[in-house]
Amino acid sequence: MDRTAQLTARRIERDIAYDPPPVADSLHVRAARVLEANWTGTSTVPSRSLYPHQWSWDSAFIAIGLRHLSPLRAQTELETLLDAQWGDGRIPHIVFNPSVPLDAYFPSPDFWRSSTAGRAAGAPRTVQTSGIVQPPVHALAAWLVHRADPGLSRARGFLTRVYPRLAAWHRYLLHRRDLGGGGLASVVHPWEQGMDNSPCWDAPLSRITPAPARSFRRADLDHGAAEDRPTDLDYGRYVRLATEYRDAGYRDGLGGGYEAGLGGGYEDGLGGGHEAGGAGDFAVEDPAFNALLIASEHALAGIARELGATGTARHARAERLTAALIERLWDPAEGMFFCRDLGDAHDTRDAHDVREARAGGPTGELIPERSVSGLIPLLLPTLPRDITATLLRTAQGPHFGLGDTTRLAPSYDLLGEAFDPHRYWRGPAWFNTSWLLERGLRTHGERERADAVRTAVLDLAAASDFAEYVDPYTGEACGATGFGWTAALALDLLHSETEATAITGFKGGNRG
């Protein structure tokens, strides 16, 4: 056969070369495409439509996935966030992109007025941010990002630059936010804990008079289905709390100001004393928020070691925090951790009252609502063995149904009165909490269970087009698609080792 005949024959046999049938892209490629589409040049938006700015804990989760595609981008993601840190050490929950129109997201920069209302707390002048915080996943993310490419990290001085900022962040939480006086950090707004409309907040929020509906305009309903989102009543209360905090200058401590903020050596003895305060009527100690602080404290110890210190003081602090978590939030009868509502107990202007309250045992009341937040401490490498075993049973039991009626743990109790499989944090399964549980199961050597969650994350992320959250029974996509942390954490599980490993690199060993 001559050349022309060959080509003609090939064309007839293989017109696939000219009109290829669709070949399904791999999950890796699809996840990478989401992260590329959401990348702004210096950070990644959670969603192009619903959340067009940089969010704090989203960026930490996103960096954890991004490290497999571009360690440089992952470092940049965290550096951009940390550039917006306040002088008092807080990392704001949103860093606004000035080129996005004001009405694209509510509350917008003109609501928060960070550079004026937050001046006394050291808000940056050149970038606009919110004034509240989100869970401290950042040191953990920085450590994992470093480990993805230690050569690049060292060459860029990544850890040397981020360490003092992360240390100041933890100092802020442990000094300014220990509103219960028992050593744990409190959140002063549901958005701070990240699970905005969890039924856990219903009781503490019921004390708050909602801002009138006509005083603000929700932008989320332009992009998300109303039945999947928080109600107008919830929003009215979110707005009231944020307004009061802003109008009090975002002040947490008795002294205001930000002398406890940036600075400090690698070992970072906390120094100073507990400071009471908090402007609003909402103050809650949450298990996931504090478990992430503890995991991040272990990660900071790893970073300190990499930078030439011992890290011992940080591990010791993480252990003290773990003990406080158990003392204040563990409910042995229910077999899980609960939130503690500090009620008015935190709202004292007098440090003497705080010491009194402290001496009299834990202040406030446990909130008897089962949230996935109460399972997240499974992440901690040194949780006592009996608590780990009990948590596992609770996760698999009728309230969460993990591995039985659900493949991914629901955000809230399947049997709870407030359960709703589609409404945001009142039932749907989320990918970040599933990732944390998967890592926790692996930390404790629960390989088969971890494998099952991993497979479910990968399947459901792919099938839902990287949805923000899914119906825990059916896997039906809810909220936004092309969601940043869903893509990033699926990518991370695709690439991460599957043998037993402690996420922070610190094994410690179970106690008890």
Residues that bind ligand 9WN (CB under 6 A): 46, 51, 55, 57-58, 93, 191, 194, 196, 220
Closer CB to ligand 9WN, residue 362 or residue 374?
374
Minimum separation from the CB atom of position 3 to ligand 9WN (A): 58
Report the residue number, 31 or 383, with the smaller CB distance to ligand 9WN.
Answer: 31
Catalytic residue, chosen from 58, 468, 471, 492, is 468
Question: CA-CA distances (angstroms) from residue 194 to 150, 213, 378, 434?
Answer: 30, 23, 18, 14
- Smallest distance, Å, CB 302 to ligand 9WN? 25
Amino acid at 249: G
The CA distances from residue 380 to 73, 292, 391, in Å, are 28, 9, 12
Q: How far is the CB of 345 from ligand 9WN (least distance, A)?
A: 26
* 196 in active site: yes
Q: Two tokens at 349?
A: 């202007």
**Pairing of the two strands 330-331 and 339-341:** unpaired
Rounded to an integer, what distance in angstroms lies between the CA atom of residue 28 and that of residue 66? 11
The catalytically annotated residue of 196, 234, 268, 297 is 196
The distance of closest approach from Cβ of residue 484 to ligand 9WN in the complex, given in angstroms and rounded to an integer, is 7
Q: Which is nearer to ligand 9WN, 51 or 337 (CB)?
A: 51
Q: Is the dihedral of CA 172, 174, 176, 179 positive or negative?
A: positive
For the question of residue 468 being annotated catalytic, the response is yes
Q: Which DSSP state fits 360?
A: T
Closer of 154 and 217 to ligand 9WN (Cβ): 217
Closest separation in Å from C-beta 480 to ligand 9WN: 8
H/E run at residue 55: strand 54-55
**Residue with Cβ nearer ligand 9WN (193 or 443):** 193
Of the pair 330, 431, the CB lying nearest ligand 9WN is at: 431
Residue 361 CB, nearest approach to ligand 9WN (Å): 32
Dihedral (Cα; 214, 216, 219, 221), 10-degree rounding: -40
Name the burial class of residue 156, with classes exposed (0-12), middle (13-18) and buried (19+) by CB atoms within 10 angstroms of its CB: middle
Phi, psi angle pair for 412, to nearest 5°: -150, 150
Sheet holding 284-285, edge to edge: 186-187, 284-285, 339-341, 365-367
Other CB atoms within 10 Å distance of the CB of residue 376 = 27
Catalytic residue positions, numbered: 196, 468
